Amino acid sequence: MTHRELRRELDRLTTEAFRPDLADIDRLPTLDIARLMNTEDGTVPAAVAARLPAIAAAIDGIAARMGRGGRLVYAGAGTAGRLGVLDASECPPTFNTTPGQVIGLIAGGPRAMSDAVEGAEDNRETAAADLDALGLGPDDAVVGISASGRTPYAVGAVEHARARGALTVGLSCNAGSPLAAAAEHGIEVVTGPEFLTGSTRLKAGTAQKLVLNMLSTITMIRLGKTYGNLMVDVRASNEKLRARSRSIVAQATGAPDDEIEAALSATGGEVKHAVLVLLAGVDAATAARLLTDADGHLRAALLAAAPSK
């Protein structure tokens, strides 16, 4: 594609459109600029809300694959890629996933997290190679992320993943995008022209972050990683998280501190196991067995323990 052809293609995207009404923002007082930008950001949740049915369908598909042992893989370039890597990196401490269960791929590799890697986003073949390096299979789910919906790396990742039988999701911020067309589940959150023309780390980036929060969080809820709205699979890897673990057990059980400490000690600090010990009145080994039999779902384990109480 020539530079002229690319320019014409970009000119058709709403995320690249120019806002004449904002042409003089650099002449405004700082507080006025902040108010204008905040107003623009306030339109993003409504744009996400309009796509909730598509988001929910994608989540159900992802959860089904992950329930069979598959992985969730994000693939994107630039800001979109960084958001995917961020969401993936937060799953282990929040939901006690293994690092390989939720993976973020960014065009240009890890160096692209902090430095621009010229031309990386234009390479479909690299996306295919990155997925092949993971040994992608039919139980996996791949989410291509691109504000424009045309980024070759993201589109190439989705096309390659679909050919491999994986579930595919295309998340973009323009209607009628090649990315959504390539995916089994197209999610097009149309956020409109940016506050700064073409700076899609702004409203488009915010929309992508909101959707990724939903994809990972609700998938983990479906997989039994929570008990109500409590993070019972939290990994207590530092003092703050150890304190949070004790609070979660207290909120779930209402038990006194000494019983909470004893339960956490007996279960090696596993919050979900400690809650089961306290609520079902079983020992740590029985709690572990019940949770294994229930595929990690605490509510199901509690129901299974009820007849023996």
Spell out the domain ranges in the chain.
Answer: 10-222, 239-308
What stretches of 194-297 show up as alpha helix (H) in DSSP? 203-222, 239-253, 257-266, 271-280, 284-293
Phi, psi of 217 (to 5 degrees): -65, -50
The count of other CB atoms within 10 Å of the CB of residue 209 is: 16
What's the CATH fold of domain 10-222?
Answer: Rossmann fold (3.40.50)
Residue 309 has what pLDDT?
A: 47
Catalytic residues: 90, 121
Q: Is the pLDDT of residue 118 over 80?
A: no
Residues 153-200 have pLDDT tens digits of: 999 999 999 999 999 999 999 999 999 999 999 999 999 998 888 888
The number of residues in the chain equals: 309
Whole-structure pTM value: 0.90
Residue 239 has pLDDT above 60, yes or no: yes
How much is the pLDDT for 99?
85
Contact 287, 254 (CB under 8 A): no
What pLDDT shows up at residue 128?
95
The predicted-structure confidence for 271-307, as pLDDT tens digits, reads as follows 999 999 999 999 999 999 999 999 999 999 999 998 6
Coil vs helix vs strand at 46:
helix
- According to the model, what pLDDT value does residue 19 have? 86
Q: Which fold has domain 239-308?
A: Helicase, Ruva Protein; domain 3 (1.10.8)
